Amino acid sequence: MSIILTGGGTGGHLTIIDAAVEHLDEKPIYIGSTKGQDRSWFEDDIRFEKSYFIDSVTVADKGIFGKIFSLWHTAKVALEIRRVLKDKDAKVVFSVGGFSAAPASVASLMLRVPLIIHEQNAYVGILNRYLRPFASSFISTFEDGNLSNSYPVKQVFFEKQRVRGGVKSILISGGSQGSVALNNFAIKLAIIFKRRGIKIYHQAGLNNVDLVKQEYENLGVDAEVFGFTKDMPKIIEEADFAIARAGASTLWEMTANGLPALFVPYPYAANDHQYYNAKHLVDRGLAWVCRDKDLNEDIVLDILDKDLSSISRELIKQIEPNGAKLLAKHIEEFI
């Protein structure tokens, strides 16, 4: 009998799969897409009994004929995946959404195999929204219910958590792909940070590192600039404040560590979900949010003059540790 993990396309989805598989007692099967990042994450991953990559397509952002084709194609592939689920005696399908998840999720409903859905974002994605009424379990850290307050964040973020006060170091993060808007904004503020004795950590994006480094050098500002790094837990631990995109994993990692942030949502995220992720904390008085076009120095200067200790302390209370273990246990309850 088998546990099936499915979904992906982007790192935000795949992070959840990566966290869950780490704590399962038996090797699961992964079903993803030939598109997106799925293969680069899990094609040769020995933690899985087997990985399948199918030609899945998205329904979002298409015209009427495109949607019809996508639905037909998903149904066709779902029939193929249905055979895999039968052959592997699937007992539960765990889906993180994204276009990679559609065929296996639909196949699970065909076979009446329990479907567990994990929604990473505050705004529920289109596939998860349609399948939610049929799911045996729906998980969202942004809602009350199963495993609320238990986003699967790596334990290192909890182990190194600390309460911040004044700002002596700052993290600017546009993700591994970077953000031109955040890069330009950071350079504008660089001299101010230097005068205040604030150390700068800047995730500029893999393609922008050299350019951003040169900008800091031209200003005579010492900054630690990088694209992708495995040392992000350590950098988050050392930072006292962050200016960052509001992907769900980033938001909850910072929350787990007690790091206050000004979130600048990616403007082209589906359904503006990064804005709603940030709003979850903003509505509780535990973060700030600002659009790319509205970024200005006064917003940051006002925050830098605040004592962030109460916000930092409350952030830590928003998420429970061991989320990945609890998630794996929840999945195994269905077998």
**Confidence at residue 78, expressed as pLDDT on a 0 to 100 scale:** 72
**Confidence at residue 208, expressed as pLDDT on a 0 to 100 scale:** 92
- Count CB-CB contacts under 10 A for residue 324: 21
* pLDDT tens, N- to C-terminus, the chain (335 residues): 799 999 877 777 888 998 899 899 999 999 988 877 888 889 889 999 998 888 755 555 555 544 454 555 566 667 788 888 998 999 999 999 877 788 889 899 999 999 999 999 999 988 889 999 999 999 999 988 878 888 998 889 999 999 998 999 999 999 877 899 999 999 999 999 999 999 999 999 888 999 999 999 999 999 999 988 889 999 999 999 999 999 999 999 999 999 999 999 999 988 899 999 999 999 999 999 999 999 999 999 999 999 999 999 999 999 999 999 999 999 999 98
What are the domain boundaries of the chain?
A: 2-152+321-332, 156-316
Would you identify the CATH topology of the domain 156-316? Rossmann fold (3.40.50)
Assess whether the region 2-152+321-332 and the region 156-316 belong to the same CATH fold: yes
Query: Which residues share a beta bridge with 95?
Result: 6, 117
- CATH 3.40.50.2000 correct for 2-152+321-332: yes
* Prediction pTM value: 0.86
Name which of 228, 220, 222, 259 is nearest 242 in CA terms. Answer: 259
Distance CA 258, CA 234 (A): 13
Contacts of residue 314, defined as CB under 8 A and 6 or more positions apart, other chains included, come to: 284, 286
